[in-house]
């Protein structure tokens, strides 16, 4: 078991890239780290900014055994402690308050994602309702136009929808006029 490494990361430098193997996590001592999706592309999106000393990053991949899910970039000169999977249990036993902070960070992120999903779900529902309302508003307008045209040119019975009448008429006669 090796000692945890202290990393001094200058502003603008990448701590880790999305998709890399993940066998370490980090605890911020000072500075600011931003987590990005699609870093360095026109679709770049900031997921979170880690600014509070004692906050962790990279722990999800370490705990789940998955690759890095984002790119971490220093947006200020930063100092971090790198904790390997092999050292995690020892680190947590020596610094239990750090373990509580890591669990708190995970809970905070879970709550933020849950709230984001709730807001997204609400927004999608509103968009779908607006779309349905607009579709429903268009159909009667088209139906009303067809009815007026039919009343003007043809003798359509009141209990037959004009679009149905036109459809049947063209099937039987091949054309409207």
The fold adopted by the segment(s) 5-94 is Jelly Rolls (2.60.120)
What pLDDT does residue 170 have? Answer: 66
What pLDDT does residue 3 have? Answer: 81
- Residue 50 contacts residue 28 (beta carbons within 8 Å): yes
Going 10 to 11 to 13 to 16, the CA torsion angle's sign is positive
- Residue 54 contacts residue 105 (beta carbons within 8 Å): no
What pLDDT does residue 45 have? Answer: 87
pLDDT one-digit tens code per residue, 49-89? 899 999 999 988 888 888 999 999 999 999 999 999 999 99
Separation in Å, CA 171 to CA 7, 9, 28, 175: 78, 75, 74, 8
pLDDT, average across residues 146-170? 66
pLDDT > 80? residue 90? yes
Q: How far is 89 from 87, CA to CA, in rounded Å?
A: 6
Q: Which of 6-15, 117-126, 128-137 has the highest mean pLDDT?
A: 6-15
- Residue 45 contacts residue 37 (beta carbons within 8 Å): yes
Q: How far is 132 from 67, CA to CA, in rounded Å?
A: 41
Contacts of 55 by beta carbon, 8 Å cutoff, 6+ apart: 27, 28, 101, 105
What pLDDT does residue 146 have? Answer: 66
Query: Model pTM?
Result: 0.67
Domain ranges in the chain are 5-94
- Classify burial at 83, counting beta carbons within 10 Å of its beta carbon; exposed 0-12, middle 13-18, buried 19 or more: buried
What pLDDT does residue 168 have? Answer: 67
**Structure token digits, residue 116:** 């984001």
Q: Which of 29-38, 53-62, 152-161, 163-172 has the highest mean pLDDT?
A: 29-38
């Amino acid at each position: 078991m090796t000692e945890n490494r202290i990393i001094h990361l200058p502003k603008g430098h990448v701590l880790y890239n999305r998709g890399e193997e993940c066998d370490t996590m980090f605890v911020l001592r000072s500075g600011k780290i931003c987590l990005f999706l699609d870093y360095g592309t026109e679709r770049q999106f900031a997921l979170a900014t880690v600014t509070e000393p004692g906050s962790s990053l990279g722990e999800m991949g370490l705990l789940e055994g998955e690759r890095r899910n984002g790119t971490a970039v220093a947006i200020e000169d930063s100092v971090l402690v790198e904790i390997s999977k092999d050292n995690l249990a020892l680190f947590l036993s020596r610094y239990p308050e750090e373990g509580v902070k890591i669990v708190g960070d995970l809970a905070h992120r879970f709550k933020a994602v849950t709230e984001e999903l709730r807001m997204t779900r609400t927004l999608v529902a509103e968009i779908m309702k607006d779309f349905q309302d607009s579709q429903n508003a268009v159909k009667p307008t088209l139906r009303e136009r067809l009815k007026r045209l039919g009343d003007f040119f043809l003798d359509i019975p009141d209990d037959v929808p004009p679009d149905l009448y036109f459809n049947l008429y063209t099937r039987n006669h091949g054309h409207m006029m």
